[in-house]
Amino acid sequence: MTDYPLPAPGEITGWTTPPTDGGERLDGRSTVLLTADRLITGRRGDAPGTLEVVGDVPDVGPDGEGAGPAEAARRAGGGGAVLLDHKRILFVGTVAEAEAHLSSRTDLAVADIGRLDLPGSTLMPGLIETHDHLLTSGTAVEYPDYGPHEVARLTLNAARSARELLSVGVTSTQSLGARHYIDVAVREAIDNGDVRGPRVVASGPQITTTAGHSYHAGAEVDSLDQIRYEVRHHHKMGVDTIKVMATGGFMTGGSAPWFAQFSQGELDVLIAEAHRLGKWTAAHAHGVQGIERAVRAGVDYVAHASFITADGRSEFDPALADEMARAGVYVDCTITADMPQMLRRDDSYAPPARQLWEHGVKIVAGHDAGIPAVPQRGYVAGLEALEWVGLPRAEVILAATSRAAAAIGCAGITGVLAEGFEADLIAVAGDPRESLDALRDLTLVVTRGREFVPDRLEGVPVLLDDSLGGLGPIGPAATLGVWRTLAERRRTHPEV
């Protein structure tokens, strides 16, 4: 017998390949105390228009002014703290309260608890994108021709988009349209730890009419039986949300966004069948008739709600807004990063986010991310645009965190920093209550207790001209222009 040396590789350690955590400071498998100068919980504050904040340490100015009081507050146990245990939040309070809580716990060995201090930062819930298309890229071509490799390439696109969202602090997203149910597969891969990405709420292909808006996704229906079958098939394929195209849209040639695509009875059946199967529901709806029918059918979420008419204008309907508020429906008005420039050129298409909010409608941060000219990495600029059109900053932060979580069916799971919630959070340098630009300066991104080190991202220039027709190659200007030209030609045709 050959005389081999002892011990054999791995005989002592028990590992052939030891685990490593790369550059991550939080591995999602440990108990860690996080501290910062303040903590925004995701709840409203006691005073109107404010946010609940824990342990607010005074700011330090650019010239160092205020450094003394800030340091004194930190030494006194000021600032906010979150105690994480694996994927869950165990405790939230001031630093002093967290340290006292730890000393009273008999089930935790203080010596084994890690600590990460982030002075100058604000801890807050991870951001949430409520309206995403993971498979697309935000470039000029929504779905390039990938030929026989379509499924593989779209899956890789989705994996890249997921990392891009995490890299800007988005820790949860609702996918509202994906060919081949690729978002379901990506959700499973993320949940299993195979790829990094935010929590994904998946819808699979949008349900539409034959040749209706987004028919290319592959879920066309034209009867009550077909509607029931398609909802049940989506359920079989593992979706979380059923999305229906209640009106036409701007991005499908020959589609008119001011026309409803389904009757009231058809939407009633679709929403009822989805709810019977325990699914969240979402409706793409631009025109008043489609919005009204979706809300009356009991839909949970409305995308766009632009109140667009055949005249090519957004014409707000206060009575319908009140009905939406009473129904408790969540609404994303798709205020994208380039919306301010669009409205400066032509304010006829102006989704009424401010008016809806004033009527008590629950506005959330959804950007149709992935469509042409709307890349996932433009998320924070979309929040700034939402503030620009009139939503107060505190409301924007709620729309991007706790309210957004409820809007995608994740209430009680994420969107709030509180005991029992999953550990999805970010830390940013500075205070986002002073400026939303602070959300760009990430000092920590954590999803389900594990840190994600953001990727380097290319910048997105401001769209200053109309080369993309508003929202893209087929946008409001292009769509309305075609219809208006045809109407004018008909009007001038001689009567014979």
Dist CA 236 CA 229 (whole Å) = 10
Residues comprising the chain, all counted: 496
Query: What whole-number distance in Å separates Cα of residue 93 and Cα of residue 57?
Result: 13
The CA distance from 171 to 415, in Å, is: 9
Query: Do 89 and 422 contact (CB within 8 A), yes or no?
Result: yes
**What integer pLDDT is reported at residue 464 of this predicted model?**
64
List the beta bridge partners of residue 332: 303
pLDDT of residue 474: 46
Dihedral-angle region of residue 413 (phi above 0 means left; psi in -120 to 50 means alpha; beta otherwise): alpha
How confident is the model at residue 320, as a pLDDT?
Answer: 98
If you search the block for the tokens 């729309």, which residue do you land on? 399
Q: Rounded distance, CA 488 to CA 469, Å?
A: 21
Give residue for tokens 């793409």: 284
Q: Domains of the chain, with CATH numbers?
A: 21-125+415-464 (2.30.40.10), 127-414 (3.20.20.140)
pLDDT of the residue at 469: 44
Rounded Cα distance, 416 and 402, in Å: 5
- Give the separation between CA 244 and CA 71, rounded to whole angstroms: 53
As a whole number of angstroms, the distance between CA 456 and CA 31 comes to 29
Q: Phi and psi of 189, rounded to 5°? A: -65, -40
Query: How confident is the model at residue 77, as a pLDDT?
Result: 79
Say how far apart CA 398 and CA 387 lie, in whole Å.
12
What residue has token string 């009140």? 322
* DSSP state letter for 39: E
User: Which helix (H) or strand (E) is 238 found in, with range?
Assistant: none
pLDDT number for residue 346: 84
In one-letter notation, the amino acid at residue 25 is R
The series of mean pLDDT values per 10 residues for the chain, 496 residues long, is: 83 88 90 97 96 89 72 84 97 96 87 93 98 86 85 95 98 97 98 97 98 92 98 98 95 86 98 98 97 98 95 92 98 95 87 97 97 93 97 98 98 98 98 98 98 93 57 56 73 80
From residue 175, alpha-carbon distances to 184, 185, 200, 408 in Å are: 9, 12, 7, 10
- Its sign, for the CA torsion 144, 150, 151, 156, is negative
Do 79 and 38 touch, CB atoms closer than 8 A? yes
| Structural tokens at position 475 | 């946008």
For residues 154 and 135, the answer to whether their CB atoms sit within 8 Å is yes
CB 138 within 8 A of CB 371: yes
- Collapsed DSSP state (helix, strand, coil) of residue 136: coil
Letter for the amino acid at 266? E
Gap between the terminal Cα atoms of the chain = 108
pTM of the model: 0.93
If DSSP codes are grouped into helix, strand and coil, which group holds residue 395?
helix
Q: Which residues are bridge partners to 84 per DSSP?
A: 32, 89
Per-position b or e across 342-374, b if 16+ CB within 10 A of its CB = bbeeeebbbbbbbbbbebebbbbbbbbbbbbbb
Q: Is the Cα dihedral 42, 45, 51, 55 positive or negative? A: negative
